[in-house]
Structure 1
Amino acid sequence: MYAKEIAYKLSEKGLRVTPQRIAILGAIIKLNNHPTAENIIEYIKKNHPNISIGTVYKVLDSFVENNLIKKVKTESGIMRYDPLPSGHHHLYCEETDRIEDYEDEKLDALITDYFNKKGIKNFDIQNIQLHITGTFKD
């Protein structure tokens, strides 16, 4: 994603467009592996050596609050960041902490249909996202 597209996404959410915000969102998209804050900092320090760790965390929090990205917590308690805040599931490898996005329309329809029929008393479902734990064979 180019800087212009990132700038547009930021302004669309009402966020001020700054070089730091462009670099951070660009890193999350470019790294494409549900990076940790540390991964993001390491990546952007190459071109933005003066950016502070505090700034990165504040920007990440503002991105989450504005639904630009989503936090994903691993089984080991590590916080990762997902550049796709829209509905999808995650496959999580316990051995490597690898996270892969998983989309399946039939599964989504099955789960939605099940809960529409069954319902949960005194609860309105807004979104269903699965966190499927296992190990990758590759």
Structure 2
Amino acid sequence: MIIVMKTIQEIAKSISESGLKVTPQRVAVMQAFEKLNHPRAEEIYKEVYNSIPGLSPTTVYNILDVLVNKGIVKRVKTESGVMRYDAVSDHHHHMYCLSSDRVEDFFDPELDKILQEYFEKKRIDGFKIEDIKLQLMGKFE
């Protein structure tokens, strides 16, 4: 698992570079990803509530929608239908625990290369692959 801790300046820069205004609310939501693993919106709200007076759950949902639309954050839907969010920008796959709904990142550049080479050789008629993401489902021991 790759853990990259971002400074407030790095978070502000990524927000700004996406064309968004840097606000304390957006920065706080992004900072929550440094502490939470694939959080639900409610978990993000609980994490930032004390640091941003007057912040509402609706504001958190709206910020997440904007961050998703700008490609800063991705939605990750679990097998049980729970919507989680992921701010890891490096290419990775996900491991889903079928018993706990836990989601973990899985990084494997060697596997990525194998998959890319496979689909370059074995094309699918009428379909252009733009990205490959695996969902590994099982149970953590």
Quick one: which of 94, 101, 124 aligns to 1:120?
Answer: 124
Kindly state the Cα deviation for residue 16 of structure 1 after the two structures are TM-superposed: 0.3
What secondary structure is seen at the aligned counterpart in 2 of 1:129? coil
In the alignment, which residue of structure 2 is the partner of 1:93?
97
Kindly state the Cα deviation for residue 135 of structure 1 after the two structures are TM-superposed: 0.4
Cα separation, 2, equivalents of 1:29 and 1:120? 38
In the alignment, which residue of structure 2 is the partner of 1:15?
20
What letter corresponds to residue 12 of structure 2 in structure 1? Answer: A
What secondary structure is seen at the aligned counterpart in 1 of 2:65? helix
What secondary structure is seen at the aligned counterpart in 1 of 2:88? coil
Kindly state the Cα deviation for residue 115 of structure 1 after the two structures are TM-superposed: 1.1
Cα separation, 2, equivalents of 1:22 and 1:112? 35
Q: Does 1:40 align with 2:40?
A: no
Runs of at least 5 residues in structure 1 that lack an aligned partner in the other structure: none
TM-score by length of 1: 0.94
Q: Does 1:27 align with 2:32?
A: yes
Cα separation, 2, equivalents of 1:106 and 1:23? 35
Cα separation, 2, equivalents of 1:128 and 1:29? 25
TM-score by length of 2: 0.92
Deviations along 1:88-128, one digit per CA (max 9) or x if unpaired, are 10011011111111111221111111111111111111100
Sequence identity, in percent? 47
| Root mean square deviation of aligned Cα | 1.1
Runs of at least 5 residues in structure 2 that lack an aligned partner in the other structure: 1-5
Kindly state the Cα deviation for residue 20 of structure 1 after the two structures are TM-superposed: 0.4
Q: Does 1:71 align with 2:75?
A: yes
Q: Does 1:134 align with 2:138?
A: yes
1:89/1:130 contact within 8 Å kept:
yes
What secondary structure is seen at the aligned counterpart in 2 of 1:9? helix
In the alignment, which residue of structure 1 is the partner of 2:111?
107
What letter corresponds to residue 129 of structure 1 in structure 2? Answer: K
What secondary structure is seen at the aligned counterpart in 1 of 2:105? strand
Q: Number of paired residues?
A: 136
